[in-house]
């Protein structure tokens, strides 16, 4: 089989694995949607707040389905020796990783689509102003956070530590990056941290695509792209099969 056909086979295998682990599928997939519905209902969000919440939850969904999920999965696969097992076969490393990443990307795109659809159907938020920009920013976010997730997995010592490590990044990041409320309302110090991190900028870009409003999509794209490069370098440089 060609490397591309093998990547496709690995992708299909990863999809099977994803649906066979219902609790992981739930946390990865349904939790962001649940948070959207709960937050919107609990605070009886008005239209303006919903226009912050929808791109925010979409960005969080990208973070959860790529960064958190890959950092966790790769740690488990490495710790269990599954990566080492693959390393001993003729499976090309690129095909294997492509299958893994494509599966995460599918989850991320499905997540963004669902969030936007719920926003429209349940809360009357308009369909995205610039669909193409939405696709581009989602794709950029996927590559960025997937690379960072793989890079971060190198820092996680073992399987048991994985939830703590990933949550230690995930939870603070979503609270300061404007998922539930505009990060403009934050104290200066937290705002500065959020500005330096990629999630806030991904959400800015998604917001520009979904809601519109003359934000600076160019700066957002540049910051996310810079983190993508850093993530890719670290992910490749420190990759360990065992």
Residues engaged in binding other proteins (CB under 8 A): 1, 6, 9, 13, 16-17, 20-21, 79-82, 84-85, 87-92, 241-242
Nearer to other proteins, 17 or 139 (CB): 17
Nearer to other proteins, 81 or 157 (CB): 81
Q: How many CB atoms lie within 10 A of CB 96?
A: 20
User: What is the closest distance, in whole angstroms, from the C-beta atom of residue 111 to other proteins in the complex?
Assistant: 22
Helix axes 198-210, 93-123, angle to 10 degrees: 50
Taking the C-alpha atoms of residue 101 and residue 115, their distance in angstroms, rounded to an integer, is 21
Report, in Å, the least distance between residue 13 CB and other proteins.
Answer: 5
- Residue closer to other proteins, measured from CB, 7 or 174: 7
Q: b vs e for 18-33, b when ≥16 Cβ sit within 10 Å of the residue's Cβ?
A: beeeeeeeebbbeebe
Look up residue 28 and give its DSSP letter.
Answer: I
Tokens of 194: 């959020």
CB of 94 to other proteins, least distance (A): 11
* Minimum separation from the CB atom of position 113 to other proteins (A): 26
Q: Of 21 and 129, which has the nearer Cβ to other proteins?
A: 21
């Amino acid at each position: 089989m060609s490397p591309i056909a093998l990547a496709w086979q690995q992708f299909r295998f990863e999809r099977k694995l994803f649906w066979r682990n219902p609790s992981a599928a739930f946390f990865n997939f349904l939790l962001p949607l649940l948070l959207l519905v709960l937050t919107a209902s609990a605070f009886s969000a008005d239209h303006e707040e919903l226009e912050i919440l929808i791109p925010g939850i979409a960005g969080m969904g990208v973070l959860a389905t790529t960064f958190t999920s890959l950092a966790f999965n790769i740690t488990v696969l490495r710790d269990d020796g599954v990566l080492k097992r693959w390393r001993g076969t003729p499976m090309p490393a690129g095909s294997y990783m492509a299958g893994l990443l494509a599966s995460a990307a599918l989850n991320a795109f499905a997540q963004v689509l669902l969030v936007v659809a719920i926003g429209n159907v349940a809360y009357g938020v308009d369909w995205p102003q610039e669909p193409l920009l939405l696709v581009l920013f989602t794709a950029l976010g996927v590559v960025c956070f997937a690379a960072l997730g793989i890079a971060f997995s190198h820092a996680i010592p073992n399987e048991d530590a994985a939830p703590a490590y990933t949550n230690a990044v995930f939870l603070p990041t979503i609270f300061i990056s404007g998922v539930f409320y505009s990060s403009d309302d934050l104290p200066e110090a937290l705002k500065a941290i959020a500005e330096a991190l990629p999630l806030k900028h991904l959400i800015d870009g998604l917001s520009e695509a979904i809601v519109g409003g003359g934000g600076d999509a160019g700066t957002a794209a540049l910051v996310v792209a810079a983190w993508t490069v850093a993530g890719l370098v670290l992910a490749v440089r420190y990759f360990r099969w065992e």
